[in-house]
């Protein structure tokens, strides 16, 4: 049974589930900077997919008293996963999955945070209607009215779009040969604009207060201040946008499959879960703000998703409610090398071999996402057996990348 190690860094303790997985020195130093902040409550929890990030360490769970660190949440606010199981089995899939991948790529815009990554030829009526009636449009108007610098970001033009980098859409098979659809995306251009804006505002706020930090990206906003309240409102809006973004994409992918495959039903929805977000929670005797930066809520009985990488296994898990982890688990395998390093290390031949059997991109544009750039998902899962139980094990047969 896995268990955490406690690391003393001169501030709050760091409880880390890293047995058998790499915990790079740069990430350790970054976690130490977080743990020494005066706003930290009880301790910092570190998940086995930990690696250095911008602002805060990816794979960290940060409990704070009366404050939030916008850069710890990051600019992809509400980024997360969604998975559904269908009644289909692998025998209902065609021998070649290339046509299905092409149709998914047509149905769901993918790419960066600019217009090319969204509905560049016009937003579908169903998407525009959802943006209007869901309250997203009205909520954004209020936020932009208070903070005009946020205006102009892609919002409805990105609703139902994938993004790039480690974001993906996959068709998978579980241990019973059942077909799943799983996807990973967040709040896209508008979340990026909101995150970037409030990260800078937090820096300005601490400079005015004369508070110095070893890393300015760890600047925080304090509860009770107008700027804090505005950030919470914008943050919750972006998290809702991210959740609905995944729902729109899922429906469009399922529609592709309905057109191209035999009739099927949806049998099980794992969860639509964030892994870059903030929630108000009660831990170790206090109501605190909990930031999960590359981590998933894993309360007792709660379902979650831990994906591997292109060509690696993924998992549907059930939380055990481990208090020391703030009821959290990893959000994936976690990078073991930077994108630049991966591009200089691996060849197209390496990537094609690693993704053999998966209908996916095999070009140089995704070398930085090749499986060997990530930690061993089996080791990551072994390091957190006291955090989650495995419910389903999935393997990809189709992977769409931006």
The catalytic residue positions are 331
**CB atoms inside a 10 Å sphere around CB 133:** 10
Q: Which two tokens stand for residue 277?
A: 């977000």
Q: Which two tokens stand for residue 361?
A: 């991109």
For residues 381 and 129, give the distance between their C-alpha atoms in angstroms, rounded to a whole number: 41
In sequence order, the β-bridge partners of residue 271 are 83
Q: Which two tokens stand for residue 133?
A: 């009636």
**Cβ-based burial of 303 (10 A; exposed 0-12, middle 13-18, buried ≥19):** buried
**CB atoms inside a 10 Å sphere around CB 40:** 20
Helix (H, G, I), strand (E, B) or coil at 76: coil
For residues 231 and 99, give the distance between their C-alpha atoms in angstroms, rounded to a whole number: 43
The gap from C-alpha 77 to its chain's centroid, in whole angstroms, comes to 8
- For 112, 162, 330, 334, the CA distances from 402, given in Å and listed in that order, are 8, 7, 23, 19
**CB atoms inside a 10 Å sphere around CB 126:** 12
For residues 167 and 176, give the distance between their C-alpha atoms in angstroms, rounded to a whole number: 26
Task: Please tell me the chain's helix, strand, coil percentages from 3-state DSSP, rounded to the nearest 5.
Answer: 35, 30, 35
- For 28, 114, 145, 169, the CA distances from 396, given in Å and listed in that order, are 32, 28, 44, 10
């Amino acid at each position: 049974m896995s268990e955490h190690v406690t690391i003393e860094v001169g501030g709050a303790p760091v409880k880390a589930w890293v047995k058998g997985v790499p915990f790079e020195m740069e990430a350790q130093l970054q976690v130490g900077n977080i743990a020494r902040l005066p706003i930290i409550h009880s301790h910092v929890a570190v998940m086995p997919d930990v690696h250095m990030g911008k602002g805060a360490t990816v794979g960290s769970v940060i409990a704070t008293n009366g404050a939030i660190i916008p850069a710890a949440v990051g600019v992809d606010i509400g980024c997360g996963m969604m998975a559904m199981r269908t009644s289909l089995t692998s025998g209902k899939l065609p021998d070649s999955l290339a046509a299905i991948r092409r149709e998914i790529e047509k149905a769901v815009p993918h790419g960066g945070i600019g217009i090319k990554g969204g509905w560049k030829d016009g937003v579908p009526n169903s998407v525009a209607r959802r943006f209007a009636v869901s309250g997203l449009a009205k909520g954004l108007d209020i936020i932009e009215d208070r903070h005009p610098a946020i205006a102009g970001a892609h919002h409805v033009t990105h609703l139902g779009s994938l993004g790039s980098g480690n974001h993906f859409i996959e068709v998978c098979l579980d241990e019973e040969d059942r077909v799943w659809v799983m996807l990973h995306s967040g709040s896209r251009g508008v979340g990026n604009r909101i995150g970037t804006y409030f990260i800078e505002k937090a820096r300005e706020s601490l400079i005015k207060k004369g508070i110095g930090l070893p890393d300015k990206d760890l600047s925080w906003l304090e509860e009770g201040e107008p700027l804090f309240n505005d950030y919470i409102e914008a943050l919750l809006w972006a998290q809702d946008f991210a959740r609905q973004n995944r729902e729109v994409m899922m429906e469009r992918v399922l529609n592709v499959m309905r057109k191209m495959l035999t009739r099927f039903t949806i049998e099980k929805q794992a969860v639509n879960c964030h892994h870059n977000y903030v929630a108000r929670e009660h831990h170790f005797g206090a109501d605190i703000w909990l930031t999960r930066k590359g981590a998933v809520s894993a309360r007792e009985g709660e379902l979650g998703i831990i994906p591997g990488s292109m060509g690696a296994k993924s998992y549907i898990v059930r939380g055990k409610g481990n208090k020391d982890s703030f009821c959290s688990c990893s959000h994936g395998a976690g990078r073991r090398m930077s994108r630049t390093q991966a591009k200089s290390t691996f060849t197209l031949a390496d990537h094609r071999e690693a993704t053999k059997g998966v209908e996916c991109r095999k070009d140089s544009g995704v070398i930085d996402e090749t499986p060997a750039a990530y930690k061993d998902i089996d080791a990551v899962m072994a390091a957190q057996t006291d955090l989650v139980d495995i419910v389903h094990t999935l393997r990809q047969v189709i992977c769409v990348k931006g």
